[in-house]
Amino acid sequence: MKIAVLHGPRDLRIEEHPLDTNSLGPNDLWVETVISALKIGTDRGNYEGAEQVPGAPDFPRWVGDSNLGVVRGVGAAVTDYTVGDRVISRYPHQSEFIAKDDEMFVKVPDGVHDEDAVYGHLYTLSAMCYYKSQFQPGENVAVVGLGVLGLGAVGLGPCLGARTIGIANSPVRMEMAERMGADATFMHDDPDLDEKLDDFTHGEGVDLVILTANPWPALRTSCQIVRDNGRVGIVALPGRGEPPLDFNPLDMEWFYAKGISLIAVNGRSGYLFPPGQGDRRDWSTMCRFTLDLMREGKLEPKRLITHRMHYSQINEAYEMIYRREKHMMGVVFNWKD
């Protein structure tokens, strides 16, 4: 089994590890990876050695968490999966693995392209930004940080009933947001940004800002552009890899005085009308909804794929995100030799 292992900042190696596929336990799944996807912001932070995320393993550690594979073997007690099923998981960049059948796997329905499905878990996180922030259809939603996760939030906007605004740091990202269905796009440093947002929202303001970018200035922009009593859903890791602050992130001017809510998009999302059984906000349920949108052609992450690479080129890809090359967006690795 081949796996990408990070031994330290910018020290990424493809290693061979043993994997016994002939002695599966009763609840084991053997999955062979078809493709895995790069998550630019988080993966770059890990690669360059930004401060560790709580709960993340120390070096050496695996990288990546968007994996699409095919089930090649099942244990005697497995009933929900059969050989040949396509599944997505949050397993890292690796050629194959053995896991338990109660882990975070979701079967990919027929009609969903591999290059869409591989983003299923990531785009479910994009959807969580809406759910956790108590989004209501018809609201004006601005997305600050147009990486893969942010563009997922843009793409989901029309499906959920949002009027979406992409706030970009480059013309390339503006074009990508438009391609994903943004109703409007603006540069974050546009001197007329306030006036343009006011015009777009007919004076109603931005009800919800979804923040996916880590730099502190992105948090400041988010708090400045949201309307009074609005919400900022924060799925980013503010300040990760950034120098010390030169401003107060909770300045009275744009926090207390505006009465805004800052919401951490993490953990569970409540549901006002719980069903008699199951959980409408269970991760697997939400992920199946995301995959259904892909099957129906309403959500197409593959539109943003700029690089299709063999797994042996993984170092090249990580060096490109380390250099923050703006033309690089969706990246998938093929794990077939």
Q: Which domains does the chain have, with CATH numbers?
A: 2-120+302-334 (3.90.180.10), 134-264 (3.40.50.720)
pLDDT in tens, 239-270: 887 888 888 889 999 899 999 999 999 988 87
Rounded to whole angstroms, what are the CA distances from 180 to 148, 242, 252, 280, 307?
11, 29, 35, 26, 17
pLDDT at 280: 82
pLDDT in tens, 31-53: 999 999 998 877 888 888 866 66
Compute φ and ψ for 73, nearest 5 degrees.
Answer: -165, 150
pLDDT in tens, 5-33: 999 999 999 999 999 999 999 999 999 99
Query: Of the given ranges (97-101, 197-201, 231-235, 269-273), which has the lowest mean pLDDT?
Result: 269-273
pLDDT of 67 > 80? The answer is yes
CA–CA distance, 191 with 70 (Å, rounded to integer): 50
**What is residue 87's three-state secondary structure?**
strand
Rounded to whole angstroms, what are the CA distances from 38 to 31, 144, 241?
19, 20, 19
Nearest alpha-carbon partner for 65 in 73, 75, 57, 76? 57
Q: What is the DSSP string of 54-66?
A: TTPPPSSEE----
Please classify residue 222 by burial: count the beta carbons closer than 10 Å to its beta carbon, then call 0-12 exposed, 13-18 middle and 19+ buried: buried
- Give the list of residues 6+ apart from residue 89 with CB closer than 8 angstroms, or none: 31, 67, 69, 99, 103, 104, 105, 106, 121
pLDDT in tens, 153-197: 999 999 999 999 999 999 999 999 999 999 999 999 999 999 999
Nearest alpha-carbon partner for 314 in 43, 125, 84? 43
Please classify residue 272 by burial: count the beta carbons closer than 10 Å to its beta carbon, then call 0-12 exposed, 13-18 middle and 19+ buried: exposed
pLDDT at 140: 98
Total residues found in the chain within this entry: 337
CB 77 within 8 A of CB 13: no
For residues 110-138, give the mean pLDDT: 97
- Report the predicted TM-score, pTM, of the whole model to 2 decimal places: 0.92
